[in-house]
Amino acid sequence: MIQTVGFIGLGKMGMPMAKNLLNSGFGVFGTDVNETAVSEFVSIGGKTGNMLEWLNKVDSIILMLPSSKIVNQVIDEVIEHYTPEHQSNENPLIIIDMSSSYPAETRKNLLKLGGSNIQFMDAPVSGGVKKAISGTLTIMAGGSADLFSKCKRLLEAMGSNIFHVGPIGSGHLIKAINNYLSATHLLASCEAVQLLQSFEVDPATAINVFNQSTGRSGSTEYKFPSFILTESYDSGFNLELLRKDLEMATRLFSDSEAATKLPQFIFEKFDEASRSLAQNADHTEIYQYVTSYLFQRGISNEKDSKAISNCNDTSVSI
Ligand code: NAD
């Protein structure tokens, strides 16, 4: 039974997830390259230290890191330093990668870890910072059914919708595709609201109508009212992280020739936005980027009157 966890990556998501593990009675060692995050974790009762100090004291390790590249580095470090003296073959160390990682890298990591008698599962999350804090994340786990049942109690401390979705890497696959769908809704909603605004429709009114109609989505029901219409742009999910997810999803679609050019188009828009906005921009700031490129193309107030008069012009076929 898992009782002690090493948690690596105490960022916007990892910190509240690690706090929820503490609150559920797990012993948690927290590690992060950011000293401020480590101090905050200690202040709420967490144990901390360099991974090498706690590696042989924990039953499992959770990774909540920004990219596959960093996940791979940490896993190589675990393999190099792990000495399974106190662990029996029946209860090997378990690593759960809850980051949004690249599925092909996840499968490679399983092969690497197999040689060290370390079990491995992917269990990325959806729901953002708000659900990380409330412990109500959606968790999509990939790995063997046995391993999933061993980890279920641990996952339940962080999430309320917990799915075993298939073999290793399946969680990361679903997560990448989920975020592609989410980004597609967001971009489409941003362009739709901009267009309606050019016809003098109030954005809040448009969003209210969508939310009672078939055009609704997570973007119109949550992101627009909470972060875009309020102009707070503080969802806690960085644009760069979504850009990474879209790069993965686009590669998956193009490798399997399973789609039109839509995934590539969506990726390009978020990629352009991440290069033009500030480094730590929130992903909801895509709205501002959409505003700027539509203005450049002339869908601006100056052109509004033309758009409206075209609308009244019966010779224009719509
Ligand atoms: P974040 O940047 O806030 O947190 C990442 C943390 O990892 C940081 O504190 C950073 O200092 C730490 N870190 C980086 N390299 C490290 C290393 N070598 N060793 C130890 N710590 C290291 O990011 P986040 O928003 O918490 O996202 C984490 C993961 O969760 C990402 O893969 C992201 O795509 C995914 N995710 C984020 C959200 C969200 O809403 N923010 C939602 C779902 C999934």
pLDDT in tens, 103-135: 999 999 999 998 888 999 999 999 999 999 999
In short, whether 263's Cβ falls inside 6 Å of ligand 1 is no
Inform me whether the pLDDT recorded for 293 exceeds 70: yes
310 alpha carbon – ligand 1 mean position (Å):
48
* 239 CA distance to ligand 1 middle (Å): 13
pLDDT at 314: 40
Is 139 inside a domain boundary?
A: yes
Are residue 209 and residue 96 in the same domain, yes or no? no
12 Cα to the center of ligand 1, angstroms: 7
Q: Pick the atom of ligand 1 nearest to 34's CA.
A: 11
Residue nearest to atom 41 of ligand 1 (CA): 237
List Cβ neighbours of 66 (8 Å cut-off, separation of 6 or more).
9, 11, 99, 241, 244
pTM over 0.85: yes
Atom of ligand 1 at shortest range from CA of 31: 20
Rounded distance between C-alpha atoms, residue 284 and residue 289, angstroms? 10
Tell me, yes or no, whether 49 and 88 share the same domain. yes
Say if residue 300's pLDDT is above 80.
Answer: no
| Ligand 1 lined by 70 (C-beta under 6 Å) | yes
Band of pLDDT at residue 299, cut at 50, 70 and 90: low
Which of residues 167, 183, 208 is at a domain's end?
167
Q: 269 an active-site residue?
A: no
The answer on 48 and 79 residing in a single domain is: yes
What is the token pair recorded at 23? 């609150």
Q: Are residues 186 and 150 in the same domain?
A: no
Distance CA(172)–CA(14), nearest Å, equals 17
Ligand 1 centroid distance, CA of 253 (Å): 25
Mutate which of 241, 248, 274, 279 for ligand 1? The one with the most ligand atoms within 8 Å of its CB, which is 241
Mean pLDDT estimate for the chain: 91
Q: What is the CATH number of the domain that holds 297?
A: 1.10.1040.10
State the residue range of the domain holding 18: 4-167
Residue 314 lies in a domain: no
Among 131, 175, 223, 269, the active-site one is 175
Residues 109, 177 share a domain: no
In the three-class reduction of DSSP (H, G, I as helix; E, B as strand; rest coil), residue 125 is classed as: strand
Residue 203 lies in a domain: yes
Do 123 and 192 belong together in one domain?
no
Could you tell me the distance, in angstroms and rounded to a whole number, from the CA of residue 63 to the centre of ligand 1? 9
Assigned domain for 115 exists:
yes
Which atom belonging to ligand 1 lies closest to the Cα atom of 15? 26
Looking at the 3D structure of the chain, how many domains does it have?
Answer: 2
- Nearest protein Cα to ligand 1, atom 21: 32
Is the pLDDT confidence value at 312 over 70?
no
Instruction: Clarify whether residues 212 and 85 are in a common domain.
Output: no
Query: Does any ligand 1 atom lie closer than 6 A to the CB of residue 107?
Result: no
- Find the mean pLDDT for residues 262-285: 96
Write down the H helix ranges in the chain: 14-23, 35-43, 51-54, 68-81, 103-114, 128-134, 145-156, 170-198, 203-211, 218, 239-256, 262-276, 286-296, 301-312
Of the candidates 55, 64, 59, 54, which has an alpha carbon nearest to the alpha carbon of residue 11? Answer: 64
Q: Which atom of ligand 1 is nearest to the CA of 10?
A: 9
The per-residue pLDDT for 86 is 56
The residue from 167, 193, 209 where one domain ends is: 167
Q: Per-residue pLDDT averaged across 8-25, rounded?
A: 98
Whether 138 and 192 map to the same domain: the answer is no
The reported pLDDT for the residue numbered 306 is 44
